[in-house]
Amino acid sequence: MMALASFLAQAASGNSLTAPLFNYGVIGVCLIALSIYYIRKDQKYEKRIDEMLKREKEFQEEAAGLAEKYRLTMEKFSQTLDVVVGLLKIQK
């Protein structure tokens, strides 16, 4: 364990031939960590977008159902009003 710690300290100091390789290795690990982070972040974003689209679709279906219900109610109201107007004409 101490040998590894001394190797890392020596490599980080830049006094050996392994320093550039060590630095490239650190950069590579950082780039891999960043790529994993952004992949996960994108997956979470796509999941939120899918959920939002699902909620929007449900809302559109509900709105269409309510519009159809409103149309049917107005038709019945119009028919009832026609009957009432017809009865009023008959009474006069």
Helices H / strands E in the chain, number of each: 2, 0
Residues 18-31: tens digit of each pLDDT? 666 667 777 888 89
In angstroms, rounded to a whole number, what is the distance separating the alpha carbons of residues 14 and 11?
6
Q: Exposed (0-12), middle (13-18) or buried (19+): which is 10, by Cβ within 10 Å? A: middle
Enter the tokens of residue 58. 């449900």
In angstroms, rounded to a whole number, what is the distance separating the alpha carbons of residues 52 and 44?
12
Position 5 pLDDT exceeds 90: no
Give residue 92's pLDDT: 76
More confident residue, 1 or 63: 63
Give residue 41's pLDDT: 94
Average confidence score pLDDT of the chain: 86
Position 90 pLDDT exceeds 80: yes
